[in-house]
Each structure stands twice: as C-alpha cells, then as structure tokens.
Amino acid sequence: MPIEFAKYHGLGNDFILIDNRHSSEPVITPEQAVDLCDRHFGIGADGVIFALPGQNDTDYTMRIFNSDGSEPEMCGNGIRCLAKFIADLEASEIHPQPPQASGGSESKSEYRIHTGAGVIITELRSDGQVKVDMGVPRLLAAEIPTTLAAPDAKVIDVPLEVAGKSWSVTCVSMGNPHCITFVEDVSAVALETVGPQFEHNPAFPQRTNTEFIQVIRSEYVKMRVWERGAGVTLACGTGACAAVVAGVLVGKCDRATAVELPGGILEIEWAEVSGRIYMTGPAQRVFTGCISH
C-alpha cells in the first residue's frame, strides 16, 4: 500500500514524516527506515518520524527510527518538525488545498506530545519558530546512563579517554544520553573519527550523543555533534539543550544561550526557578511524496 510522507528539516537536521494516526504502531519497519534514509538510494534523511495517536491525555505520540534503524527516546529538532507537520495536517483537513510551507496557521498552536523521554509540549509561534518545553534535564549517572561516576552522582568535568586523548566531559540526559566536551576550536575536531569512539565507549551502556562546544561568549557558543544512530548531523536539539546545561554546570555559559550549529542557531534557556529547558528554533517543510511498496 502506498504511504504518503512529507520531508521536513530543522536547521538541516532532516526527517521523513509519516501520518500514522490510524495505528498505534509504525507503518514501516526499522529496516525499511534505513532504506528510506539512504541519501543515494532512498529519500534521504537523518530519521523517520511517525505521528501516532496520543496516549495518557496527550494530543499525539512521537516515535522515530534513526537512519541506522535504532530508535531514540526523543529528538529535539525532530519534535519541532513533527509539530509543524501536525499543524500542516490539521490545516489541510480544515481546507482541502495543501497548506503552504509555513502552514498550520488555522490549526492548533500548542501540542502535548508523548515521547520516550516523557511528555513534551510544543508551541508554534506566530513568527514561524517552534518553542519546545524540553522538561527538566537529568544529571545523575544512573539516569544518563553512564559508569563515569557513582549511580547517584553527577558527571561534571570528568576525564574520559577517547581516541588516545583525555577529554574533560560532562554528561546530561534530556531523555536521551549526551556527553559534552568543551574545545578550543570545534572546526578542528575530526568528528568522523572520534564521534563513533565516544558513541560506543563502554562508559555508555546505551551509547551516547556527543557534543563538542566552543565558547565564543557566555551567551553564545558553537557546537558540532555526533548523534547516536545518525552520525554527523547539521543540528541536534536535545544536544544543544544538554550543552547549555553542561555549560552552566561548569561555569562557561549563561542560562540563556544561543547555540550555533552548522545548520543554524537554536535559542536555549534553562529556567532557574522551574529547572525546565526551553528550545526555540525553526522547522520547515521541504517536499511531500508517496512511498510505493
């Protein structure tokens, strides 16, 4: 049966979006997702995202298969794309004609989305940006998870041997694991070489995303990322959030910090009173199509 899809990206972190509201299980397998994500023989994407029926008083459920077929708990850029996709779907149901690329103007502006990292709230703003309440970061080693500290201890500025070098790392979970290290020059990091060695390091039993951060000013940093299950990507929303948390913990960043990624800028705020992280950034539709099996 043909499956309609839409391609979206958040700062170049690109996804295949599928309307899966008629079923509580994804309509394609992880193996099929790998084929679809292939940039030479498929559609090309960092992952496939499914909009499933909501559960536990949420509007929708998000599931995602990475380009290697693995399933992460959540994806920050991906959930912004999902929010735009849902708004465009709802707008098209109000009006038979397809919505414009900026779509969703007459649909709901806020969604409660169930994810593997908990309930995430997205808000489509009038300026086209999507603001996401990413929840409270988890800082204990057992929550990340990592063996770099005792289960009930935080991992802040801890040495880790990778690729024949000692790196000072701070670990944060945004519902998925992140290992953050601060460097003098992010452009000098050989991501393709050191990224896989971080991801598969025995200190991370569920593997890890890895963020390399260059502090330009306390409120502005540059970041490159190696994503668990996807490799080098142009942006990582959960990673940008984790990076700012790590920056605050080690005294390098303000609680409101702009994170410059290869694909663009995300605005991150770690609220002092509530402890919640807010991420604001774009999400854009690229094209739509149909998959034939």
- Catalytic sites, residue numbers: 75, 236
Helices 76-94 and 237-249 sit at what angle, rounded to 10 degrees?
140
Amino acid letter at 134?
M
Helix or strand (DSSP H, E) at 82? helix 76-94
The phi, psi pair for 32, rounded to 5°, reads -65, -35
DSSP SS3 for 190: coil
In sequence order, the 6+-apart residues with CB closer than 8 A to the CB of 234 are 11, 12, 13, 261, 262, 263
Are the C-beta atoms of residues 9 and 284 closer than 8 Å to each other?
yes
Q: Hey, what are 11's tokens?
A: 């700062």
> Is residue 198 helix, strand or coil?
helix
Q: Give the CA dihedral 281, 58, 20, 241, nearest 10 degrees.
A: 30
> Using the 8-state DSSP alphabet, how is residue 242 labeled?
H
Whole-number Cα distances in Å, 43 to 7, 56, 118, 219, 287: 9, 33, 29, 37, 11
Asked if omega into 98 is within 30° of 0 (cis), the reply is: no
The greatest distance separating any two alpha carbons of the chain, rounded to the nearest whole angstrom, comes to 59
Phi, psi for 278 (deg, rounded to 5): -120, 130
Coil, strand or helix at 195 = helix
One-letter identity of residue 165:
K
